Amino acid sequence: MAQPIKVVVTGAAGQIAYSLLYMIARGEVFGKNQKLVLHLLDIPPMMGVLEGVVMELADCAFSLLEHVVPTADPEVAFKDVSAAFLVGAMPRKEGMERKDLLAANVKIFKVQGQALNKYAKKDVKVLVVGNPANTNALVCSHYAPSIPKENFTAMTRLDQNRAKAQIASKLGIAVDNVKNVIIWGNHSSTQFPDVCNATATVDGVKKSVNEAIGNAAYLQNEFVVTVQKRGAAVIAARKMSSAMSAAKAACDHMHDWWNGTNPGDFVSMGVISDGSYGAPKDVVFSFPVEIRNGKWSIVQGLQLDDFAKSKLQVTGKELLEEKEEAMTVCSQD
């Protein structure tokens, strides 16, 4: 058994964390031989609910879980953590766009960035789930200057999982037979789900998704819109935002970041942009990445058609606008 690592989950009394904590404690993220100490952060009014979550974790009798620390104090929560799932944020409600959340939520991530800077390990891997995730990750990084910028990521894996599932359903195949669907840009309704470099294995034969589907109009219209608006569709049906699927995606994201990707497979992550593929620099932009030895790198040399390039421009513009607005809000404190 490896020495225990400390992992923090914020918004730990909330819906996403309820599924997420179970998956982490089972060993589905850091491995079946990695002992864990879980730090659970939430706001003071939620401490009673959080105590119930702690009881349930104890009642699960997880062999990997050495200790659980429930707290409302960022200093306690972020002390010596190796991984951080930043889930806690005001949730999006029906009719709201992510940018409506921006003013309230960026202040939360400013405070958490400052706490990570002071108390966390300098090689901490930070995954921002709370929306607007890309811009929250940027803000968090900005206020944690002692931690490398590449250690802050935003979750677009839920969008990738949604896109894979849509393609698999359309083709009547298992989701594992769909590879290398990409999410570009912002985790918002401007994101671009892209299958130009994706493959599907149908009846044992591997082919491009474009060839397998054979319907460019579907892939440029209905498919894109379905993935872009899936979160809103879940809210309309459940009257609450995605929780189980968001938790699964957070686990997928951190698992691959921690353990690496398979050769030839790439995954979508919101990472600090170096300007690849014409994306604006110094925003957190979702790219296809490969991961080796705990380090991600943007997959280079992929072909983008004019349709894709136009979509990347739209989502890049939104991220620049969000960045400007977020930094203005943060500077007012």
Instruction: Please say if the pLDDT value at position 96 is more than 80.
Output: no
> If you average pLDDT over residues 212-232, what whole number do you get?
95
Tell me the mean pLDDT in the region 21-39.
97
Question: What is the per-residue pLDDT for 103?
Answer: 80
326: pLDDT strictly greater than 70:
yes
Domains and CATH numbers, the chain: 5-154 (3.40.50.720), 156-321 (3.90.110.10)
Instruction: Find out whether 129 is annotated in a ligand binding site.
Output: yes
pLDDT per position as a tens digit, 152-200: 999 999 999 999 999 999 999 999 999 999 999 999 999 999 999 999 9
Residue 234's closest CA among 243, 225, 221? 243
Span 203-215, pLDDT tens digits: 999 999 999 999 9
Is residue 98 annotated as involved in ligand binding?
yes
Other beta carbons within 10 Å of 314 = 13
User: 269: closest CA among 174, 128, 75, 175?
Assistant: 128
Which residue in the block uniquely carries the two structure tokens 């599924």? 19
How confident is the model at residue 90, as a pLDDT? 80
230 marked ligand binding residue = no
Between the alpha carbon of residue 83 and those of residues 69, 86, 200, the distances in Å are 15, 10, 33
Q: Are strands 199-202 and 178-179 parallel, antiparallel or unpaired?
A: antiparallel
Instruction: Enumerate the β-bridge partners of residue 182.
Output: 194
Whether 93 shows a pLDDT value over 70: the answer reads no
Query: Is the pLDDT at 39 greater than 90, yes or no?
Result: yes
The H or E element spanning position 331 is helix 306-331
CA pair distance 163, 193, nearest whole angstrom: 7
Residue 105 assigned as binding residue: yes
Q: pTM to 2 decimals?
A: 0.95
Residue in the block written with tokens 């459940």: 238
Average pLDDT score, the chain:
95
Please identify every residue annotated as catalytic.
Answer: 187
